Amino acid sequence: MSLPHPTRQSRAVITGASSGIGEELARQLAASGHSLILVARRVDKLEALATELRQKHQVTVDLKPCDLADRDARRLLNQELAQQEISILCNNAGFATFGCLQDLDPDREREQLELNAVAVQDLTIALLPQMIQRKSGAILIVGSTSGHQPTPANATYAASKAFANSFAEALHSELRGTGVTCTLLAPGPTRTGFTEVAGITKIDGMGGNAAWISAERVAREAINGMNRNRRIVIPGLLAQAQTIGGRYTPRAVLLPILKQVFSRLT
Ligand SMILES: NC(=O)c1ccc[n+]([C@@H]2O[C@H](COP(=O)([O-])OP(=O)(O)OC[C@H]3O[C@@H](n4cnc5c(N)ncnc54)[C@H](OP(=O)(O)O)[C@@H]3O)[C@@H](O)[C@H]2O)c1
């Protein structure tokens, strides 16, 4: 099974398209002829990207600025999107906080769970019926290697990504035979705006270039994976090793190590 072919009326929705992995997903899907609907809060960034992609690829690019952590705003967006023909849904928007839970802003922690988990579920629920009805559609859910194990000093993020990872893999199996696919993208460290938003830019220099991969490569592997109806895409050897370590190392061994590492990041 491959990705739905682009048509005049169909759209690929990309959340978090104003930066990083989402911006690259938008670039690469537009290059394959898909018309897009870009979602994020920073309108100036979305406008600049839309102008570039319209000129370069002659595709339609619509903007839907929205704070996806806001339930009311999200409900309106989801209703609007459900009225259009959505062939591809990339649930990508997300952010992380680092630090011990008692030191973090409770509102920001709730916002994180709302964006990384509940909004993903909401948007998927809103758009899945039309895809099933057409027997065609592709869903990408951006989880993380962080979702494979609990992570002290990054507790809410890891838990929110555990939801995303599990939800995506379950849907992949549920949807078999429907004509609709679901792929989990579970990246490790990727060069984007992520560390700045999380306030952990001091890790940017750690591990050299070998430890980090580009958003361009992550997006490319994600789209290839969707094209082949892969259950899970984990770009890069480091992320693959992190996944095995996170899944199979006994928690009693793993948690103290992660606590040491992650409590030093802020
Ligand atoms: N970079 C990594 O190392 C890494 C590793 C594993 C997983 N991931 C995951 O990859 C995904 C993309 O992140 P990234 O690395 O590309 O980071 P990024 O460059 O910071 O991009 C995050 C995107 O999410 C959007 N966003 C944040 N809050 C939002 C909100 N309330 N409503 C709507 N959009 C919102 C941002 O747009 P606005 O600010 O304009 O709203 C931005 O477009 C996230 O789910 C992240 O958890 C990243």
pTM of the prediction? 0.98
Q: Please indicate, yes or no, if residue 88 is contained in any of the structural domains.
A: yes
Q: Is residue 4 part of a domain?
A: no
Quick check: is 80 in a domain? yes
**Considering Cα of 243, then 23, then 63, then 88, what sign does the dihedral take?**
negative
Which atom of ligand 1 lies at the shortest distance from residue 215's CA? Answer: 16
Is the separation of the CB atoms in 255 and 150 below 8 Å? Answer: yes
DSSP conformation letters of 139-170: EEEE--GGGGS--TTSHHHHHHHHHHHHHHHH
| DSSP annotation string for 59-106 | --EEEEE--TT-HHHHHHHHHHHHTS-EEEEEE-------S-GGGS-H
Distance 23 CA to ligand 1 centre (A): 10
pLDDT in tens, 171-198: 999 999 999 999 999 999 999 999 999 9
> Are 137 and 180 spatial neighbours (Cβ–Cβ below 8 Å)?
yes
Of the candidates 98, 157, 163, 262, the residue annotated as catalytic is 157
- Nearest ligand 1 atom to the CA of 116 is 45
Q: How many domains does the chain fold into?
A: 1
- For ligand 1, the distance from its centroid to the CA atom of residue 253, given in whole angstroms, is 30
Range of the domain at 123: 11-262
pLDDT in tens, 90-132: 999 999 999 999 999 999 999 999 999 999 999 999 999 999 9
Q: For residue 172, how far is its CA from the centre of ligand 1 (angstroms)?
A: 23
Contact predicate 52/74, CB 8 Å:
no
As a whole number of angstroms, the distance between CA 250 and CA 260 comes to 16
pLDDT in tens, 13-58: 999 999 999 999 999 999 999 999 999 999 999 999 999 999 999 9
Helix (H) or strand (E) holding 13: strand 11-15
Tell me, yes or no, whether 144 lies in a domain: yes
Residue 6 lies in a domain: no
Binding-site residues, ligand 1, Cβ < 6 A:
16-22, 40-42, 45, 67-69, 92-95, 115, 142, 144, 187, 189-190, 192-194, 197, 215
Q: Are 39 and 12 in contact (CB under 8 A)?
A: no
Instruction: Give the tens place of pLDDT for each residue, 199-216.
Output: 999 999 888 888 999 999
pLDDT at 207: 82
Task: Evaluate whether residue 60 is within a structural domain.
Answer: yes
Report CA(262)–ligand 1 centroid distance (Å). Answer: 20
Ligand 1 mean position, distance from CA 82 (Å): 23
pLDDT grade for 140, boundaries at 50, 70 and 90? very high
Residue 157 bears catalytic tag? yes
Residue nearest to atom 25 of ligand 1 (CA): 16
Mutate to test the pocket of ligand 1, among 13, 19, 45, 146 (most ligand atoms within 8 A of CB): 19
Domain of residue 84, CATH code: 3.40.50.720
Residue 5 in any domain: the answer is no
pLDDT for 266 equals 84
Q: Ligand 1: which of 122, 151, 190 to mutate, judged by most atoms within 8 Å of the beta carbon?
A: 190
β-pair partners for 142: 185
Task: Indicate which residue's Cα is closest to atom 36 of ligand 1.
Answer: 16
pLDDT at residue 1 in the model: 63
Report yes or no on 149 lying in a domain.
Answer: yes
Q: What is the DSSP string of 208-248?
A: TGGG-EEHHHHHHHHHHHHHTT-SEE--SHHHHHHHHHHHH
Q: Give the pLDDT score at 172.
A: 98
